[in-house]
Amino acid sequence: MAEQFLSIEKIVKSFGGNTVVHGVDLGFGKGEFISLLGPSGCGKTTILRMIAGFERPTAGRIVVEGKDITHLSPNQRKIGMVFQAYALFPNMNVADNIGFGLKVAGIPRDKARARVAEMLALIGLSGFEKRFPFELSGGQQQRVALARALAPRPRMLLLDEPLSALDAKIRVSLREQIRAIQRELGITTIFVTHDQEEALSISDRIVVLNAGKVEQFGTPFEVYNRPASRFVATFVGTLNTLQATVADAAKKTVAIDGQVVTIPALPATARSGETVALTMRPEAIAIANGVPRDIVLDGTVSEVNFLGSVIRLKIDLGANAINLDIFNDQHTPPPAHGTPVRIGIASGDVLVLDG
């Protein structure tokens, strides 16, 4: 990890005795798109605001390109930021909003105008120069806020839940647009969100936070498929949890509602008669029709949710129920409610969580 663009070193933040960030240690490479993901109140905004310089860390340092910026004031940091509440200047039109950072930096007028036009083209709002913020939709305002942040060519971009005030459809199209622009400019970006789907879909790497601590830092693929903790496993993606009783700890067998199966991942510490939680993703489970899976369970279909290309089924196993996804097949209707089915799970996809 020699060539770090941004390092956050053992950062602690307390608000009057209440510590909300506990020694966070992170390093990001140049041009990376990083998401800070976690439930509301876990300290995402606080970390972002320390990078921006709006909050001073109680302990630790922030280093950008080898320089300690911990005590640099925010207007010296050359960082672009987009806020949840847009925060466009209501008294200025779109062009003046985007040009504000350039004007403050003393960029000559004609150069600034060219840069504003370039930014408007980038966000697809050419011709909107003279509009005022109150004349724009939420999505348009947020694009202008993005252009305003990018116009002075900042060395990194921070976004604090920029999409959460928008409706679902615009949210998806705008996040793709943000990612495309970020790729085009190659700008190091930190994106704060509490929406795991958002984080998984656009990030190079994700920092999963819980209660002011880093739970996991990895690619979306790693975070989703190899969650480092129970928190990550349950917070990111949909997870099936089955309560099972250890039947024979030595043979690594457990009983799920009376059906005994072998779980090679059962920890050596498990003892017979103990209850363990087995977790797996919906897509790790298949209806056992040909595809050989080493765990086979019998149940009945209790719910059928047609989601379009995917159909989510809920299978009743007794006290436990399990969600699984099957692909829509135009020629085969999905199993009806109450149909008995046999499901298969690859034991390698099962995670055992204690308790």
Partner 1 sequence: MKRSRLWAWSLFGIGAAYFLIPLIATFEFSLRMRRGAYSWDAYAAVFADPRFQATFSYSAFIALCTIVVGILLVVPAAYFVRLRLPHLRPIIEFVTLLPLIIPPIILVFGYIRLYNSSSWLPFTGSALATDLLLVFAYATLSLPLMYRAVDTGLRTIDVGTLTEAATILGANQVTILARIILPNILIAVLSGAFLTFAIVMGEFVIASLLSRPAFGPYLQLIGANRAYEPAALAIISFIITWGAMGTIQLLARFAPKTAARID
Ligand X SMILES: Nc1ncnc2c1ncn2[C@@H]1O[C@H](COP(=O)(O)OP(=O)(O)O)[C@@H](O)[C@H]1O
Binding positions for ligand X, rule: CB under 6 A: 15, 20, 38, 40-46
- Closest separation in Å from C-beta 167 to partner 1: 9
Our finding on whether 191 is near partner 1 (CB under 8 A) is no
Near partner 1 by CB under 8 A: residue from 31, 74, 334, 335: 74
Is 275 in a helix, a strand, or coil? strand
- Closest separation in Å from C-beta 101 to partner 1: 4
**Choice between 46 and 279, CB closer to partner 1:** 46
Residue nearest to ligand X (CB): 45
Whose tokens are 């199209």? That residue is 173
Q: Which residues have C-beta within 8 Å of that of residue 175, sequence separation ≥ 6?
A: 163, 198, 201, 202
**Choice between 166 and 280, CB closer to ligand X:** 166
Our finding on whether 101 is near partner 1 (CB under 8 A) is yes
- Listed residue (37, 340, 1) closest to 193, CA to CA: 37
Q: Is 258 left (phi over 0), alpha (psi -120 to 50) or beta?
A: left
Our finding on whether 137 is near partner 1 (CB under 8 A) is yes
- Listed residue (19, 26, 16, 83) closest to 49, CA to CA: 83
The beta-carbon contacts of 23-28 under 8 Å, at least 24 apart in sequence, are 23/59, 23/60, 23/213, 24/60, 24/209, 24/212, 24/213, 24/214, 25/214, 26/207, 26/214, 26/217, 27/1, 28/4, 28/188, 28/190, 28/205
Our finding on whether 83 is near partner 1 (CB under 8 A) is yes
**Choice between 7 and 45, CB closer to ligand X:** 45
Near partner 1 by CB under 8 A: residue from 38, 43, 80, 282: 80
- Closest separation in Å from C-beta 213 to partner 1: 26
- Closest separation in Å from C-beta 40 to ligand X: 4
Q: Which does 328 bind (CB under 5 to 8 A by kind): partner 1, ligand X, Mg ion, none?
A: none
**Choice between 148 and 281, CB closer to partner 1:** 148
- Closest separation in Å from C-beta 131 to partner 1: 12
